[in-house]
Amino acid sequence: MAEVIRMPLLSDTMTEGVIAEWHKKVGDQVKADDVIAEVETDKATMEVIGYVEGTLLYIGVEKGKAAKVNGIIAIVGKPGEDYKPLLEGNSGDTAAAPAQQAAAPAPQAAPAAAAPAADDAALKEALKNASVIRMPLLSDTMTEGKIVAWNKKVGDVVKSDDVLAEVETDKATMEVIGYADGTLLYVGVKEGEAAKVNGIIAIVGKPGTNVDAILAGENAAPAKAAPAEAAAPAATSAAASAEAPAAATSSDGRVKASPLARKLAAEKGIDINQVAGSGDNGRIVKKDVDNFVPAAAPAAKTGAAAPSAPAFVPAGQEGYTDTPLSQMRKVIAKRLSESKFTAPHFYLKIDVNMDKAMDARKAINEVSPVKISFNDMVIKACALALRQHPDVNSSWMGDFIRHNQHVHIGSAVAIEDGLIVPVIRFADQKTLSQIAGEAKGLYDKAKNKKLQPQDFSGNTFTVSNLGMLGIDEFTAIINPPDSAILAVGGIKETAIVEKGQVKIANIMKLTLSCDHRSVDGAVGARFLATLKTYLENPVTMLV
């Protein structure tokens, strides 16, 4: 079935996007995670991922032209598939595709073709009077969004610039605007639940519009199968209550149960034959074992068999708590796993004497309009060192290495849900006080989940500082698309030998993680040496 790719909402103020570049052409194969185009918004140029697989059948917007948010920019499907029905009408909704496929077998079963045709007509009529609101792509790494709150309820009148809902992505909580006038007819995702990018979250239109036709067209087969699927577990449970072993037994007499369910049942001393299965065809799954409550009869039987039971009886029960993953935590896991197991990391460590830096910071803060932190000094020193060592300010692009001509420093911030990296742009051109003021504003926005995509994208190098938490030294995983990340430890009084004399100095340990595909050991070492010079002689950063 062909699927449409729409212009995503890439910032909270975006109403349209200009196609800056197409990375695919008609006829090319497309994977779910392929970047198909670059879109220039009112804030930045960002990548568009289709999240569908197949052949690119249609491109609706030429390079350099603009498309409204939620407008069709491309269609992906099977080679030779008829996609034109998807372009009919203003909505161009993908819901027409199931009807198109249902009508295809007409030559073999003519009598059955009437129902799909009727559904198709109802769908087209409904789409004339309603607009489908889909989960927008709110960051370049987002695959799904969780509805934090609905600002409208079914029956409310909605204007095109109204904020319908707040959505938690992997980076921040952002507002979703429907860009449609009418009445809120349908809400497809409850608060606290997630929806895939481009999935239907709401429908806005004229009162009385046939919403069921739109939903049936979106995914007809699962919708019709749902009642039967719901009935099957009920029937299975009923049968299991009367005769549990028969409900979960295959034709060859073997009990149908997952390996995990069998293991849990054995650990808990539960007779797997007494458990009613809720899985496919009565298959016993983990939740069935977790929720199992012995009936009175089995309890008596257990009492009769007591002499053969193990003598040891545990005083308590094993337990655990499953914490659902936030969108941010999911992407942290995905991206850092890809970085760690794709990029060949190597590590360089160096000690920096911060005595002069401590004195300089004290003097600077006496005249600075904002308080300068040691982290601000590290960011400034890194930016200047990257100017001298452009090979570190690079990105591995697969077939080539991209040397960035700008210096955008990402500064990792720990928040309740995980880690986010606000970006200080053109850090090499800014003063210490400008860096400090901008960093403080970004950190506050990060903790309040108010960062926008342009605030956490575009980094060319990253600094991760755990010194304020009492960590002496650590190694960090490279933050894609960077080629390196600097791990900063705390400043600690340490005995050192200088000119044959033992003295106490304030030492800070730095660890540089490098991607060996784009940064060689000698390159990383020279960068660290330059960085050390700046930090040990802060006056050199001011000239």
> Which residues have a catalytic role annotated?
516, 520
A 10 A CB-CB count for 74 gives 25
3-state DSSP: the chain helix, strand, coil percent, rounded to 5?
35, 25, 40
**CB half-sphere exposure, 468, CA atoms < 13 A:** 8
Structure tokens at 159: 């204007």
**CB half-sphere exposure, 157, CA atoms < 13 A:** 0
Q: Is the dihedral of CA 27, 30, 35, 39 positive or negative?
A: positive
Phi, psi (deg, nearest 5) at residue 149: -155, 145
Residue 79 CB contacts under 8 Å (≥ 6 apart), including other chains: 55, 57
> How do 423-424 and 409-411 pair as beta strands?
antiparallel
Structural contact between residues 92 and 139, judged by C-beta atoms closer than 8 angstroms: no
Residue 535 CA to residue 491 CA, distance in Å, equals: 12
Structural contact between residues 77 and 54, judged by C-beta atoms closer than 8 angstroms: yes
Structural contact between residues 420 and 456, judged by C-beta atoms closer than 8 angstroms: yes
Residue 116 CA to residue 121 CA, distance in Å, equals: 9
Q: What is the CA radius of gyration of the chain?
A: 30
> How do 413-415 and 182-187 pair as beta strands?
unpaired
Residue 422 CA to residue 413 CA, distance in Å, equals: 7
DSSP letters, 381-413, are HHHHHHHH-TTTSEEE-SSSEEE-SS--EEE-E
Structure tokens at 373: 């932190």
Structural contact between residues 454 and 399, judged by C-beta atoms closer than 8 angstroms: no
Which of 343, 453, 458 is closest to 405 using CA atoms?
458
- Bond preceding residue 481 cis, omega within 30 of 0: yes
The alpha carbon torsion through 127, 128, 129, 130 (nearest 10 deg) reads: 40
